[in-house]
Amino acid sequence: MTWVRVAGADELPAGEALKAEIDGTPVCVVRLDAETVKAVHDVCSHEDEALHEGWVEDNAIECPAHGSMFDLDSGEPTMLPATRPVPSYRARIAEGAIWVDRDQQLNDAPEPRH
Ligand code: FES
């Protein structure tokens, strides 16, 4: 279990996403509201687009390339064309910062190639 600080809490507004690099893994970090952040692998399981460049909608992120939506807890696609999940990771806000623990994967999705 290794919590990594990826940004200050005031550096990511609600409804937006950023990319963090954790041990060589690109991670899409999403701020849902004042107290809630989520994290998924940043590479779309369809054709490798960067998810952090997409749009946040409720508890999902929409891929900017072809519109697949991924649930931010399960990592499962809820909209085609993607059919495979992306890894999701535990994330939190604490001590004025946003933290992600890549070792705590919340699903069993394989890492997309990148
Ligand atoms: S690359 Fe993400 S939906 Fe196609």
Going from the N-terminus, what domains does the chain have, and what CATH number goes with each?
A: 4-105 (2.102.10.10)
d(CA 33, CA 100): 16
* Torsion angles phi and psi, residue 64, rounded to 5: -75, -15
HSE of 77 in the Cβ direction (CA atoms, 13 Å)? 17
Residue 82, token pair as written in the block: 């993607």
The model's pTM:
0.96
pLDDT tens, 7-65?
999 999 999 999 999 999 999 999 999 999 999 999 999 999 999 999 999 999 999 99
- φ, ψ at 42 (rounded to 5°): -80, -10
Q: Is the CB of 7 under 6 A from ligand 1?
A: no
Whether residue 68 has its Cβ less than 6 Å from ligand 1: yes
Token representation of residue 83: 């059919």
